[in-house]
A and B are shown apart, each in its own frame.
Chain A
């Protein structure tokens, strides 16, 4: 039985993953923006969870680093411990929007890289204190290679993926397992309005793949799994080809 805090459990992939946890009896702390959203998600998980599951909720905002520590502490206290921390939250904007609006670019870069890392640092400390655990963070396939439609977003996610890999190398021996999830295109409110590419996934299916990787301690999880092959091909592409193709 796990005791899990999920930053981003109110929506999308985080919501689907939180449901998987409570349906098998894990304890879940919902961390999210907006007290009302958190309250509604807690109610949902309470109704769906198998008897005996414990669910709690606390506000925590990736834009406000001062909320990280109190939220994790509250979660730990309410669940009588914490062995797994998951981050599905993040910010997204298209390359076009980010180029047009530097303030938005600053926000997305800060949230997706600097603040996510800071949150992980807090979580890392907590987990190491109790002798380890699992830190599972949603990066993106966009971080696997510099590509023209995701120059800025991809750069933030590349930084995040590199951080997570480093953390895994440094601390696996201490019992801290780091799982970097790289979702491909997943149909959520975040990707609404974008043209749907091939191999698009749904949050429920992604949650199943992530749960498996998280239980097994797989360092890098592609979801849907077909994206591992897609990204291997993209990473192998010579630069002169990458410059010509549109993705």
Chain B
């Protein structure tokens, strides 16, 4: 078999072999990957033994209880596939990230969060059971009340504790498949953070997009979105149709994204929302997964691709943390398209789960010659604020920065050591950050 290019969503790549069996029962003891939507190198195999197993053909539902919503499925099942079957019947996943191109195994491994984090926590908080194959070849079950240590290391553990074969969690009953959304134009970052916190007790889902280019008085102006499932008397009677797919046509040239075009985009996005407040019924597709209908939108960033920088600035950093972060960013010229901002609820007991109470900021950065320096500077700032970064997005963080951010890391590594002392399950990211060697 010849080597092929295995890419993360930000287009960082390793040349190697991506096996894609129908069944995961007899796969070699290497890293699993799902749909490859983690931005950086967490789903890429290590350079020195570049073999990874793609789980997406293992996509069978194994049990669904139409009364309680409890679902058990193979780890390669995607949220897209799941919702195509169960959304018309009134069921939704307890937590969804901003894309449906995520497998259940990937959702567990990255412990994904969504617009309802302040209420429902991460995906892993809803998982009852995982079936795993660990490094010595044993197949076993774990959960919050069974092999708890392994479970807590696996949720958010980026696939490094073993192979996730099956996932069991309850789907959630929804009143209608439509969303009641209210959106609001907010004129600066401090007001923004205030409004997010204000909305938290009243709205089950919140998120916002801010302009992270404009410095000064209007720094961090943006659009705050709040949503809840629509009641049947508000919602249209028909089922929302999936938006038609368009493909991003070309690998864009790098000059396409320049300070001027990005500024124009941010300006348009902000002023498109002319009235200060808007409200109404929207489709779940545009509310939860606005970019999913543009296939291959990552090609917008050209040949070198991009990285997403996502950090959480803890409440303990005090008021103004988001403003201070944006100051660092705008001083460097911003260089990002829209920036996504969201408040996080309580921290999960899972050892490497990303969110913690505070403000999460995520921005896409086209890779240029100075990207490493930019990420270093942002990381040093986040460290000073006591925050941390999200592994599912990361390509550039230095090991010493990550260790300093992540007080829970020794605990994770200790449990991983117990289950996989030879580090059979390692990724390009774990080699970079934890120094895994064969």
10 examples of A-B residue contacts, CB within 8 angstroms: A11-B57, A15-B22, A23-B85, A40-B60, A40-B74, A41-B60, A47-B71, A48-B85, A189-B21, A192-B19
Q: Is A37 touching B23 in the complex (CB atoms < 8 A)?
A: yes
A195 within 8 A of B: yes
Closest chain-B Cβ to A93's Cβ sits at a distance in Å of 14
Residue of A43, A189, A193 near B57 (CB, 8 A) is A189
Measured between beta carbons, the chain A residues less than 8 angstroms from B62 are 40, 43-44, 47
Map CB proximity to A onto B13-31 as digits: 1 under 8 Å, 0 otherwise: 0000001111100000000
Question: A12 vs B57: C-alpha distance in the bound complex, in angstroms?
Answer: 8
Q: Which residues of A have CB within 8 Å of B61?
A: 43-44, 47-48
4 tightest A-B CB contacts, nearest first:
A44-B60, A47-B61, A47-B64, A11-B22
User: Within 8 Å CB of B60, what residues of A?
Assistant: 15, 40-41, 43-44
Return chain B residues, CB-CB under 8 Å to A47: 61-64, 71, 85
Interface string of A200-226 (1 = CB under 8 A from B): 000000000000000000000000000
When the two chains form their complex, are residues A193 and B1 in contact, meaning their CB atoms are under 8 A apart? yes
Please name the residue on chain B nearest to A40 by beta carbon.
Answer: B60
User: Nearest chain A CB to B303's CB is how many angstroms away?
Assistant: 22
A141 to B19, CA, bound (A): 25
Cα distance A135–B339 when bound, in Å?
56
Q: Mark contacts of A1-29 with chain B using CB atoms, 8 A cut-off: 1 yes-contact digit, 0 otherwise.
A: 00000000011100100000001000000
A47-B71, A48-B61, A192-B20 are known contacts; what are 15 more A-B pairs with Cβ within 8 Å?
A: A15-B22, A23-B85, A40-B60, A41-B60, A43-B60, A43-B61, A44-B61, A44-B62, A47-B62, A47-B63, A47-B64, A48-B85, A189-B22, A192-B21, A193-B1
Q: Is B68 an interface residue (CB 8 A)?
A: no
B2 at the binding interface (Cβ < 8 Å): yes
**In the assembled complex, which residues on chain B have CB atoms less than 8 Å from the CB atom of A46?**
64
Residue picked from B2, B20, B21, B22, most chain A C-beta under 10 Å: B22
Contacts of B57 in A (CB 8 A): 11, 188-189
Tell me which of A48, A188, A189, A195 contacts B2 (CB under 8 A). Answer: A195
Size bin of chain A's contact surface = 10 to 19
Residues of B within 8 A of A193 (CB): 1
* Assembled-state Cα–Cα distance A109/B438 (Å): 42
Total residues of chain B contacting the partner, CB 8 A: 16
Q: How far is the CB of A8 from chain B (nearest CB, A)?
A: 11
Chain A hits for B23, CB < 8 A: 11, 37
A47–B70 alpha-carbon span in the complex (Å): 11
Shortest distance from the beta carbon of A43 to any chain B beta carbon, whole Å: 5
**Chain A contacts for B64, CB-based, 8 A:** 46-47
In the complex, chain A residues whose CB is within 8 Å of the CB of B1: 193
| Interface residues as binary, B348-363 with A (CB distance below 8 Å gives 1, 0 otherwise) | 0000000000000000
Task: Tell me the complex Cα distance, A67–B213, Å.
Answer: 69
In the assembly, what is the distance between CA of A241 and CA of B74, in Å?
48
Contact (Cβ within 8 A) B63 A43: yes
Name the residue on B nearest A196 (C-beta): B4
Determine the chain A residues whose CB is within 8 A of the CB of B63 once the complex forms.
43, 47
- Chain A residues with Cβ below 8 Å from B85 are 23, 47-48
Contacts of A37 in B (CB 8 A): 23
Which chain B residue lies CB-closest to A203?
B57
- Least CB separation from B63: chain A residue: A43
A41 closest partner in B (C-beta): B60
Q: Please measure, in the bound complex, the distance between the C-alpha atom of A185 and the C-alpha atom of B60, giving whole angstroms.
A: 23
Bound CA–CA A46/B85 (angstroms): 11
Please measure, in the bound complex, the distance between the C-alpha atom of A43 and the C-alpha atom of B21, giving whole angstroms.
19
User: When chains A and B are docked, how far (Å) is the Cα of A30 from the Cα of B99?
Assistant: 32
CA A37 to CA B21, docked complex, whole Å: 13
Chain B CB count within 10 A is highest, among A11, A44, A47, A188, for A47
Interface residues in A37-85 (C-beta closer than 8 Å to B) = 37, 40-41, 43-44, 46-48
Q: What 1/0 flags go to B53-74 for Cβ under 8 Å of A?
A: 0000100111110000001001
Residue from the set A23, A40, A46 with the largest chain B CB neighbour count within 10 Å: A40
User: In the complex the two chains form, what is the Cα distance from A47 to B82 in whole Å?
Assistant: 10
- Least CB distance, B193 to chain A, in whole angstroms: 42
Q: Mark B397-430, 1 if CB is under 8 A from A, else 0.
A: 0000000000000000000000000000000000
Chain B residue with Cβ nearest A19:
B85
- In the bound assembly, the distance between CA atoms of A35 and B223 in angstroms comes to 54
Distance between Cα atoms of A40 and B22 in the complex (Å) = 12
Closest B residue, CB atoms, query A204:
B81
Q: How far is the CA of A46 from the CA of B71 in the complex (A)?
A: 12
CA distance A38 to B64 in the complex (A): 17
Return chain B residues, CB-CB under 8 Å to A48. Answer: 61, 85
Question: In the complex, A41 Cα to B22 Cα: how many Å?
Answer: 12
Taken residue by residue from 178 to 202, chain A's Cβ proximity to chain B (1 for < 8 Å, 0 otherwise) reads as 0000000000110011010000000
Give the contacts of B33-62 with A (CB-CB under 8 A). 57, 60-62
A48 to B64 Cα, complex, angstroms:
9
